[in-house]
Amino acid sequence: MLRSISEAEIARVLSYEQLVPAMERALIAFSAGEVTQPVRTVLTVEEGQRFLGVMPAVTREGMGAKLVCFYPKNAGSDLPTHLATIMLFDSDTGRPLAVLDGRLITEMRTAAVSAAVTRHVARAGARVLALLGSGVQAHAHLEALRHVCPFDEVRVWSRSPAHAQAFAARHGARAMDAESAVRGADVIVTATSSREPVLRGAWLKPGAHVNAVGACLPTWRELDDEAMNGGTLIVDSRDAALKESGDVILSKAAIFAEAGEVFAGAWVPRREATTVFKSLGLAVEDIATARLVYDAVTAA
């Protein structure tokens, strides 16, 4: 019988302790060629405001697709900018297993992948985290990254100072301007809806690690050329980055490795190097997370 799994059910069973290693396994399989997955198809409903993404994948553990609505126009309203539904099938028989709400899965798997990359490439002793952005992904990344780094200080910037102050009050962070937040930080997250760079490479200290999770369209950017070309660039998918990421396309930055190759030990960045992880989000991450949730819910 087809199971419908709500966000409330997902929240009860999904944890970063399980999700971070699950994302490592999923991306190792992806980079090893064990996953069938095209680059996401994006339909423009309204230029710059409304998009529909179609993201199918077939893995050993399951297969399915996510339909994701990316609506920048929802920013500032009661509705999220990302809304999604995931359909999960049994890959052996083709039997439909579940329809899952995809909003929280998208939120958590994105942050879990960043946490996994950070665990592999950030310098030992990372203590200062800078968050550029104060929305859903900033919150998720703070929670996920705290599972891999014992931060002593968290800094936050937002284009809305009131939002930054509110975030800081909720999470024990310090609100400040973008440059002050980034200078001296060990780990930086850019999680904005910006279409122009908000992070300058000149602000990064040597050996800093950046998780760049916004700017998911080929004409949008969060990082300037110096940030993109000044260190070791890691992506979730080479094919996707060269088609979808304005940060990669417009800077012409050389890709060092996929995250799955780093997790598998095929490519090992120098720990003292400045590193940038450009995250776009892959269907295999959604299917792996959906399977994790489905197994937990049906076992209860």
Cβ distance 37 to 58 under 8 Å? yes
* pLDDT given for residue 81 in this prediction: 86
What number of residues does the chain have? Answer: 300
* pLDDT given for residue 270 in this prediction: 82
Instruction: Please provide the distance, in angstroms rounded to a whole number, between the alpha carbons at the two ends of the chain.
Output: 16
**pLDDT averaged over 10-residue windows placed end to end, the chain, 300 residues:** 95 98 98 96 92 95 94 85 94 95 97 98 95 96 96 96 96 97 98 94 97 93 97 96 97 97 92 92 98 94
* pLDDT given for residue 58 in this prediction: 97
* pLDDT given for residue 268 in this prediction: 87
Tell whether the torsion through CA atoms of 15, 59, 189 and 126 is positive or negative: positive
- Decide: residue 243, CB within 10 A, 0-12 exposed, 13-18 middle, 19+ buried: middle
* pLDDT given for residue 155 in this prediction: 98
Q: Cα(152)–Cα(83) distance, rounded to whole angstroms?
A: 33
Q: What domains lie within the chain, and their CATH numbers?
A: 3-106+283-299 (3.30.1780.10), 122-278 (3.40.50.720)
Two tokens at 221? 């950017």
* pLDDT given for residue 157 in this prediction: 98
* pLDDT given for residue 277 in this prediction: 98
Question: Residue 152: helix, strand or coil by DSSP?
Answer: coil
* pLDDT given for residue 253 in this prediction: 97
Enter the pTM of the model: 0.95
* pLDDT given for residue 198 in this prediction: 97
Q: Cα(47)–Cα(79) distance, rounded to whole angstroms?
A: 19
